[in-house]
Amino acid sequence: MPNLVYDFAAGNKDMKDLLGGKGANLAEMTNLGLPVPPGFTITTEACKVYLKTGSVPPELADEIDHHVDELQRRMGKKLGQADDPLLVSVRSGAAASMPGMMETVLNVGLNDDSVNGLAHQSGNPRFAWDAYRRLIQMFGKTVLGMEGEVFEDALEKAKEAKGARSDLDLDADDLKALVENFKHAVHEHTGREFPQDPRTQMDLAIAAVFGSWNSERAILYRRQERIGADLGTAVNICSMVFGNLGMDSGTGVAFTRDPSTGQQGVYGDYLQNAQGEDVVAGIRNTVPLADLEQIDKASYDDLMRIMATLEGHYRDLCDIEFTVERGKLWMLQTRVGKRTAAAAFRIATSLVDEGVIDIDEALRRVKGAQLAQLMFPRFDADASKEKIAKGIGASPGAASGKVVFTSAAAVEAAERGEKVILVRRETNPDDLHGMIAAQGILTSRGGKTSHAAVVARGMGKTCVCGAEELDVNVAQGTIKVHGSVIEAGEMISIDGTTGEVFRGEVPVVPSPVVQYFEGSLAPDAGDELVESVHRLISHADDVRRLGVRTNADTAEDAARALRFGAEGIGLCRTEHMFLGERRVSVERLILAETDEEREGALAELEPLQRGDFLELLAAMDGVPVTIRLIDPPLHEFLPSMEDLAVKVALARERGEDPGHDAALLVAVERLHEENPMLGLRGVRLGLVVPGLFAMQVRAIASATVELRSQGKDPQPEIMIPLVGAVQELHLARDEVERVLAEVGVAGEIPIGTMIELPRAAVIADQIAEAADFFSFGTNDLTQTTWGFSRDDVEGAFFSRYLEKGIFAVSPFESIDREGVGALVRTGVDRGRATKPELKLGICGEHGGDPDSIHFFHEAGLDYVSCSPFRIPVARLEAGRASL
């Protein structure tokens, strides 16, 4: 069995998994020769045993004995020694920082005897009795599981009895009485005495820290931060130093540079005559760190020297906790500091300019998620807000507007120049116009891949989904929430990052980073953040191997994507072109009973499609545009069966002729499917509705010819969706080729397919024979691999799956490497085995997800395709993946 306990001098900063972040960094500082109070760390391995078995490993006691002996020898005093006791702190410290989530016990080693020794040694009896009462209080709460209020009430009573305003007004005798009180309380509530043996105190505190790994708040925090549930925490036993021994003592926090801007300078706070917890509790006001220079110049100079050493050593912003004990500086903790997204970018490029790191390292240190945060306008943090609900932050941003409940109302209001939030129980493709017109979308049902979410992200529009506290009644035009009612026309605000919903208008601040990507703010215009973003994204572009394309269906989206750096379109969903007034023609196509009727409907649609492709290909001149032939089930273009049935029945009841509605209802019933996502869609539709694919291909080919005649360079690629058998692709391809030949562009437009069914991935070697390229449709591939309905599961039960740790993040959001990812790899390997030069892309939602982009890089794809607003993130992450 490897060691379970390491002296601080035996570890280093790279041993975080074993020693936790705090332990590893205390070890590093010890070895740098910095003044760290001596101590040792009990490993996360010991914690894992405790969590599994309910007790510490049997050999731990001996190892601790050995390290305690060593510590006592070095300090020249013993735990519990009556005349001059050694005191230690027992602190948690996991590999990933979990601030405040787990337990700490200070002043371990005090008892009824040694408190007198401490009083004598420190010459400060009040301090000694205060330290003892703090120990009993922390021990009672943390180790013995008592309610904190028991102690707080007793403290309050002591103050009242004395007429004291603050803890500091209690003298040594008061505190001595309080200690007696606390000990009684311990006995009363737990049936046992407060343990007088220091080693018992220590052992119990260690077990309590281990146990706090599974406290409710720690579990919740880990889930949110995606920290593994089985990593365990280390425990640090550190000899105590005291910042509360008088005015020549104190405690503080420091940053080696400004954590919110990255600027160099002296940042932090200091509090004289205090312990760390007093700073956190905000009992007294701290002073700026710079004031320490006046208070205690020697300690200040030491601290400045140490900060420079730490920054030089870690080559990054560090944050520090320190204590001054009677004029002597001690380092209690350091770590590479947390920072805001803006500071991450600025610090990274500043460190390059200072010659501390190179530009590759700078790129490693910024994340796509941070860039995404910088791109959305956000609510002014200082504004007052009334929160009414919390849903799923489905598409980031901050939007305010008047509540509207229908697409038509949204469009009308937008035409009047009003800002609106479209509120629905859930959205459907019919709501698209309303979604475009609205500032934001709020639904009470659905998750991150619901229709509302996917479409909103595509448009870069703020969206909150699944706000289940809201009772949305579209017919009545009301939202009921917690007993109050919001009506159409009232102002609300939604935060698509946090999922919060507010009543009223919350002011927002725009993002300069978007202005830069849009081209309206030059990188050298003097905005330091924009300059940093520009430098790092330019470097990402230089080093990345993955291409970045966009998912776009309109010339406007395409143009924005180009400005954001897209290198083409990876997915144009042509079904999005059949909405709005064109639905009538689609309806006619579906209802056609004769060849003539069907051909008539197709003939109506063709010039419209041609116009779409002319615009799109012109906007994307000279770069590839992958156009996917129509995919979703036709009934999505028809009215709801239930609504129609009611309408027809009502008409009949009134003795009226339902006319067209009756014919429509028959068709809708005929086309109704129990599982439309697994039904008549994709290539199946093209193969069973004669002339549909041909119409689209003719529109693409003739738009291409026309643009070429204008001297342009259109580069369409035709993509067949939802293929599961090579025969399907052969048949579809034959038809596409026939039409291309008719228009005179035979062999000039690549014909490829989506890989979005497990079967397609498995037989990718066969499919590659009939495909010029593949694009992985990871939305459907996830849906069909897991058997999860992408439209339903997130709202229905994913939150419980996340809680139970079945996955740490929705597989619709970030690629499931083991399952769906394995199929992608299979598709890549088998496809390339047939055609080594086969071009491979991905166009599911995962194309814009940072973790997934790293996977696609590793899997050897040629490009990712994502919505326009995620292009910068994809460029950055593709660059980082290449390092």
- The catalytic residues are 451, 843
Burial track 50-73 (b if 16+ CB lie within 10 A, e otherwise): bbeeeebbeebeebbeebbeebee
User: Of these partners, Mg ion, ligand PEP, none, which one is at the site of residue 794 (CB under 5 to 8 Å by kind)?
Assistant: none
Question: Measured between alpha carbons, how far is 496 from 500 in angstroms, rounded to an integer?
Answer: 7
DSSP structure class, residue 86: B
Stretch that binds ligand PEP, among 249-257, 259-267, 614-622, 777-785 (CB under 6 A): 777-785
Closest distance to Mg ion from the beta carbon of 678 (Å): 12
Binding pattern for the stretch 732-771 against ligand PEP, x by CB under 6 A and - elsewhere: ------------------------x---------------
81 makes contact, choosing from ligand PEP, Mg ion, none, with CB < 5 to 8 Å by partner type, with none
Q: Does 626 count as an annotated binding residue?
A: no
Would you say 560 is a known binding-site residue? no
What binding mask, one character per residue, do residues 338-367 give for Mg ion by CB under 5 A, x or -?
------------------------------
Residue 20 near residue 39 (C-beta atoms within 8 A):
no
Place of tokens 């130093």: 241
CA distances, 707 to each of 549, 701, 712 (Å)? 22, 10, 5
Closest approach, Cβ 843 to ligand PEP, in A, equals: 5
Strand order in the sheet with 471-473: 471-473, 478-481, 484-487
440-443/508-509 β-pairing: unpaired
In the block, residue with structure tokens 């945060």: 373
The yes or no reply on residue 631 touching ligand PEP (CB under 6 A) is yes
Task: Please identify which residue in 30, 585, 778, 785 interacts with ligand PEP, judged by CB under 6 A.
Answer: 778
In this structure, which amino acid lies at residue 59? E
Residue 637 three-state SS? helix
Stretch touching Mg ion by CB under 5 A, among 31-39, 76-84, 769-777, 832-840: 769-777
Question: Do 393 and 484 form a contact (C-beta atoms < 8 A)?
Answer: no
Instruction: Look at strands 462-465 and 392-395 and give their pairing.
Output: antiparallel
DSSP state of 197: -
Residue type present at position 868: P
Applying CB under 6 A, among 843, 873, 876, 878 the residue interacting with ligand PEP is 843
Angle at 844 between CA 640 and CA 687, to 5 degrees: 60
Q: Specify the pairing of strand 508-509 against strand 378-379.
A: antiparallel
Residue 337 binds which entry of ligand PEP, Mg ion, none, CB below 5-8 Å type-dependent: none
Q: With binding defined as CB under 6 A, does residue 777 bind ligand PEP?
A: yes
Nearer to ligand PEP, 232 or 570 (CB): 570
Structure tokens at 560: 């924005």
Using the rule CB under 6 A, is 794 a contact of ligand PEP?
Answer: no
Nearer to Mg ion, 585 or 865 (CB): 865
Residue 75 burial by Cβ neighbours in a 10 Å radius (0-12, 13-18, 19+): middle
Q: Footprint of ligand PEP on residues 697-736 (CB under 6 A)? A: none
Which of positions 634-663 make contact with ligand PEP (CB under 6 A)?
Answer: none
813 interacts with ligand PEP by CB under 6 A: no
Is 406 marked as binding a ligand? no
- Please list the residues that pair with 272 across neighbouring strands: 250
Q: Is 803 annotated as a binding residue?
A: no
Question: Quick one: 444 or 574, whose CB is closer to ligand PEP?
Answer: 574
Find the angle CA(826)-CA(828)-CA(833) to the nearest 5 degrees: 95
44: contact with ligand PEP by CB under 6 A: no
Question: What, of Mg ion, ligand PEP, none, does residue 449 touch, CB below 5 to 8 Å by kind?
Answer: none
Picked from ligand PEP, Mg ion, none, the partner binding residue 396 (CB below 5 to 8 A depending on kind) is: none
Select from Mg ion, ligand PEP, none the partner in contact with residue 395, using the beta carbon and a kind-dependent cut-off of 5 to 8 Å. Answer: none
Q: Is 844 in the site for ligand PEP (CB under 6 A)?
A: yes
**Residue 778 annotated in ligand binding:** yes
Tokens of 590: 């579906």
**Among residue numbers 398 through 437, which ones bind ligand PEP (CB under 6 A)?**
none
Residues 559-598 that bind ligand PEP (CB under 6 A): 571, 573
Q: Applying CB under 6 A, which part among 101-109, 179-187, 775-783, 821-829 lies near ligand PEP?
A: 775-783
Q: Does 780 appear as a known binding residue?
A: yes
Contact 613, 700 (CB under 8 A): yes
Output phi, psi for 395, to 5 deg.
-150, 115
Question: Which residues have a Cβ under 8 Å from the Cβ of 256 and sit 6 or more positions away?
Answer: 307, 308, 310, 311, 317, 318, 319, 320, 337
Q: Are 335 and 360 in contact (CB under 8 A)?
A: no
CB of 756 to Mg ion, least distance (A): 5
Q: Determine the Cα–Cα distance for residues 167 and 283; give it in Å rounded to an integer.
A: 10
Nearer to ligand PEP, 30 or 775 (CB): 775
One-letter amino acid of 610: R
User: Which is closer to Mg ion, CB of 133 or CB of 628?
Assistant: 628
Q: How far apart are CA 748 and CA 742, in angstroms?
A: 12
Q: What is the CA radius of gyration of the chain?
A: 33
Is 779 assigned to a binding site? yes
CB of 519 to Mg ion, least distance (A): 32
3-state secondary structure of 775: strand
431 binds, among ligand PEP, Mg ion, none (CB under 5 to 8 A by kind): none
Among 7, 316, 780, 794, binds ligand PEP (CB under 6 A): 780
Q: Is 780 in the site for Mg ion (CB under 5 A)?
A: yes
- Applying CB under 6 A, what is the total number of residues that bind ligand PEP? 10
Closest C-alpha among 740, 735, 724 to residue 687: 735
For ligand PEP, the closer of residues 140 and 868 by Cβ is 868
Strand partners, 90: 105, 237
Site string for ligand PEP, 216-245 (x = CB under 6 A): ------------------------------
Please, which of residues 718-757 interact with Mg ion by CB under 5 A? 756
243 or 841: CB nearest ligand PEP = 841
Q: Which does 843 bind (CB under 5 to 8 A by kind): Mg ion, ligand PEP, none?
A: ligand PEP
Choose the one of ligand PEP, Mg ion, none that binds residue 571, judging by a C-beta under 5 to 8 angstroms depending on kind.
Answer: ligand PEP
Interatomic CA distance for residues 379 and 399, integer angstroms: 8
State the helix-helix crossing angle for 583-591 and 595-619, rounded to 10 degrees.
150
Q: Interface with Mg ion by CB under 5 A: which range of 262-270, 358-366, 735-743, 774-782?
A: 774-782
Give residue for tokens 């956190």. Answer: 280
The least CB distance from residue 570 to ligand PEP, in Å, is 9
795 or 844: CB nearest ligand PEP: 844
Q: Closest approach of Cβ 811 to ligand PEP, in Å?
A: 12
Neighbours of 366 (CB within 10 A): 25
The alpha carbon torsion through 418, 422, 428, 429 (nearest 10 deg) reads 20
Residue 387 pairs in a beta bridge with 502
Nearest CB to Mg ion, comparing residues 558 and 757? 757
List alpha helices for 297-406, DSSP H: 297-314, 341-353, 359-364, 368-375
C-beta atoms surrounding 7 within 10 Å: 18
Tell the smallest beta-carbon distance from residue 260 to ligand PEP (Å): 38
Q: Which of 125, 777, 821, 850 binds Mg ion (CB under 5 A)?
A: 777
Binding-site annotation: residue ranges for substrate: 573, 628, 756, 777-780
Instruction: Summarize as ranges the residues that interact with ligand PEP (CB under 6 A).
Output: 571, 573, 631, 756, 777-780, 843-844
Instruction: Summarize as ranges the residues that interact with Mg ion (CB under 5 A).
Output: 756, 777, 780
Binding-site annotation: residue ranges for Mg(2+): 756, 780
Binding-site annotation: residue ranges: 573, 628, 756, 777-780
